[in-house]
Amino acid sequence: LSVEHTDETAIGFKFFCPKFTLSYTGDTKLTPQLLEELTGTDILILNVPYPGSNGKGMNLDTEAAIKIVSHVRPKLAVITHFGLDMLRADPIQEAREIQRITGIQTIAAKDGLLISPQSYERSKSPVKGYD
């Protein structure tokens, strides 16, 4: 992924798996190119160190995360990489706000978090036996 950050070595990833696509933004600011590259993502992991609209230029905040999730429409969004301001604001509340506004399931990551990507694959039917 094309990312923009003060650290020139900052990178993002997009993994194309047989049944789902997973993207991880890494440290970046919101750009039109990033939005375009994230299109088609099923599971979206966003570095969101700042709550609300309190971003510091080259990093995402909750407001930017809402814009990204609204545009990409993944099956699942995960926010991670919390700064002190985000921890004080409560990442769970910020994730709930993203979910409330976008209608996309959003969770705040924690150490040791495991998810089952197959639960979010693009062609999976919510009705058992109708895949």
Report yes or no on 117 lying in a domain: no
Average pLDDT over the chain reads: 91
Residue 35 is part of a domain; what is its CATH number? 3.60.15.10
Report yes or no on 86 lying in a domain: yes
pLDDT at 7: 87
Q: Which residue has the higher pLDDT, 121 or 4?
A: 4
**Mean predicted confidence (pLDDT) in 118-125:** 65
pLDDT at 39: 96
pLDDT tens for each residue of 17-62: 988 999 999 999 999 999 999 999 999 999 999 999 988 888 999 9
- pTM (two decimals): 0.89
Contacts of 29 (CB under 8 A, 6+ apart): 4, 5, 55, 57, 58, 59, 60, 64
Residue 94 CB neighbours (<10 A): 23
The Cα–Cα gap between 77 and 79 comes to 7
Report yes or no on 7 lying in a domain: no
The Cα–Cα gap between 19 and 66 comes to 25
Report yes or no on 17 lying in a domain: yes
Report yes or no on 129 lying in a domain: no
Report yes or no on 66 lying in a domain: yes
Domain span including residue 36:
13-111
pLDDT tens for each residue of 52-67: 998 888 899 999 999 9
The Cα–Cα gap between 110 and 68 comes to 21
Report yes or no on 6 lying in a domain: no
Report yes or no on 49 lying in a domain: yes
- Closest to 78 in 3D by CA, of 60, 105, 52: 105
Which of the four pLDDT bands, split at 50, 70 and 90, describes residue 9? Answer: confident
